[in-house]
Amino acid sequence: MKVLVLGGGGREHALAWRLARGASVTRVYVTPGNPGMATVAECIALENYTPEEYLGLAERLGVDVTVVGPEAPLVAGVVDLFRQCGKPIVGPTQAAANLEGSKVFAKELMNEAGIPTARYFIAESEPEALAALARFEYPVVLKADGLAAGKGVIVAKTRNEAMDGITALFSGQFGEAGQTVVIEDFLPGREVSFIVLTDGETVLPLAPTQDHKAVHDNDQGPNTGGMGAFCSDKILTAAETQEVLNRVIYPAVRAMAERGTPFTGFLYAGLMMTDQGIRVLEFNARLGDPECQTLMHRLHSDWGAVLFRAAVGKLAGVSLSWDAAPSVCVVAAAHGYPGPMRIGDAITGVRDAEAGGAVVFQAGTRMNHGVLETAGGRVLGVTASGVDLRAAMNRAYLGMEQIQFDGKHFRRDIGAKGLG
């Protein structure tokens, strides 16, 4: 079986790495991919990365199934086009991807389906948002409505911070994202990324993971796309997992089907486990990154076969097997990230890091005259497992010490929350 992966980050590197190890997969292609994947996949560049170009590539290569990594191709309608042409693909349609593309849509769906989430207000203008602040306590959470690469969320600790945040969101600092802003209660608790694979009917839960969104240790500083993650069966009890399925995942999948826009692909529920119970912070229409790196590291199953069954609506009866050992991924970010960052710094130590038993999934990297260098905010993820979480952390951090590039920064507490 030949598989095509769309994307070029750490998530896609991890997908390609796992796919290549499956018995039923003969060939893995990734577009655009990155230099780290060259040993497990063939990377192919396209001109404009449009749905039509992706389809043309899949047909030219004769791939059996395509899997979409990031949200942009989903929102552009790549799944709709592949389906129209009878090409198996894993991901949601444009309409279903709205669950991630619009926080307002997600809130409305949660309301309708009775899915627990934070109390919120939708503001369509700056004056409306400022006036609505009176109904909230601090900290308060402000979210741009559209896609903002995980950075369109501001946790404001004071009224002044909230006012500045509202101005920033409406002035277009997050691109087009800021026409509508969701204001919601801040929920204290334990964050969990709960991701399932679904064909629209059958739901196959992946292992629970925990992301670390803030840039600095102890969750300080601005939010990023994720500075590291861990994956362990201890993140949720069996009863909690069942409750998440019953109260969040099944109602969401049912509500999407009832709307005539069934959700297929990876449904990611960003959860907060609060003293009052489970609350949904957000839905994503794709695998999380870096969560995916820890998931792929722990997964045993023949991933290509599973993805093919998801793409053709035959997930019923499929189960996944996971390594008992927990896994940890620590992200190395470029100078300046998540603000304006510098690229073009030479990277060394990838081989040495892997010699110590970690896997380095590359993300924002490129080859320049034979030199590996930084090319994006999240440069790479060092992923490792161990007999317990502590051992996995030690191995990942050992690998991280080997990696060198100017401006490199990473969190030193990835996984620490799971040790307690």
Using CB under 6 A, pick the residue from 34, 94, 284, 362 that binds ligand GLY: 284
71 interacts with ligand AMP by CB under 6 A: no
In this structure, the number of other CB atoms found within 10 A of the CB of residue 321 comes to 9
Task: Give the interface segment with ligand AMP, choosing from 36-44, 80-88, 183-191, 235-243 (CB under 6 A).
Answer: 183-191
Catalogue the long-range contacts made by 135-140 (C-beta closer than 8 Å, 24 or more residues apart).
136/162, 136/183, 136/184, 136/185, 137/185, 137/186, 138/162, 138/186, 139/186, 140/183, 140/184, 140/185, 140/186
- Residue closer to ligand AMP by CB (options 262, 270) is 270
Q: Is 41 helix (H, G, I), strand (E, B) or coil?
A: coil
Number of residues that bind ligand AMP (CB under 6 A): 16
Closer Cβ to ligand AMP, 30 or 269, answer by number: 269
The neighbouring-strand residues paired with 374 are 365
| Pairwise CA distance, residues 170 & 148, whole Å | 13
**Residue 107's Cα: distance from chain center in Å?**
19
Which of 71, 80 has the CB closer to ligand AMP?
71
CB of 335 to ligand AMP, least distance (A): 23
The Cα 390–Cα 401 span in angstroms is 16
Piece of the chain touching ligand AMP by CB under 6 A; list 21-29, 182-190, 259-267, 287-295? 182-190
List the single partner that 118 binds among ligand AMP, ligand GLY, none, CB under 5 to 8 Å by kind.
ligand AMP
Strand partners, 316: none
288, interface contact from ligand GLY, ligand AMP, none, CB < 5-8 Å by kind = ligand GLY
What Å distances lie between residue 121 and 111, 129, 136, 281, 385, CA to CA?
12, 8, 10, 14, 42
Residue, CB closest to ligand AMP: 282
Give residues 111-170 in contact with ligand GLY (rule: CB under 6 A). 150
Residue 2 CB, shortest distance to ligand GLY, in Å, is 27
Radius of gyration of the chain (CA): 20
CB of 268 to ligand GLY, least distance (A): 7
d(CA 257, CA 108): 15
By CB under 6 A, tell whether 294 contacts ligand GLY: no
Tell me how long the chain is. 420
Of 244-283, binders to ligand AMP (CB under 6 A) are: 270, 281-282
Cβ within 8 Å of residue 173, ≥6 positions away: none
Q: Which does 226 bind (CB under 5 to 8 A by kind): ligand AMP, ligand GLY, none?
A: ligand GLY
Strand ranges inside 160-276, DSSP E = 181-185, 190-198, 203-205, 209-211, 214-216, 220-223, 228-231, 265-274
Q: Is 223 in the site for ligand AMP (CB under 6 A)?
A: yes
For 194, list phi and psi in degrees, rounded to 5: -110, 115
Instruction: Identify which of residues 223 and 261 has a Cβ nearer to ligand AMP in the complex.
Output: 223
Which of ligand AMP, ligand GLY, none sits in contact with 294, Cβ below 5 to 8 A by type? Answer: none
CB of 226 to ligand GLY, least distance (A): 3
- Least separation in angstroms between residue 224's CB and ligand GLY is 8
Q: Which is nearer to ligand GLY, 92 or 226 (CB)?
A: 226
Cβ 376 to ligand GLY, closest distance in Å?
14
The SS3 call for residue 174 is coil
Q: Given 3-state DSSP classes, what are the helix, strand and coil percentages for the chain, each rounded to the nearest 5?
A: 35, 30, 35
In 3D space, the residue among 406, 395, 177, 399 whose CA is nearest the CA of residue 415 turns out to be: 395
By the rule CB under 6 A, 184 interacts with ligand GLY: no
Strand-by-strand arrangement of the 181-185 sheet? 120-123, 181-185, 140-144, 153-156
Confirm or reject binding of residue 143 to ligand AMP (CB under 6 A).
Answer: yes
Out of 91, 208, 226, 251, the only residue in the binding site for ligand GLY (CB under 6 A) is 226
Interface residues toward ligand AMP, by CB under 6 A: 118, 141, 143, 150, 153, 155, 184-187, 191, 213, 223, 270, 281-282
Interface residues toward ligand GLY, by CB under 6 A: 150, 211, 225-226, 284, 288-289, 291
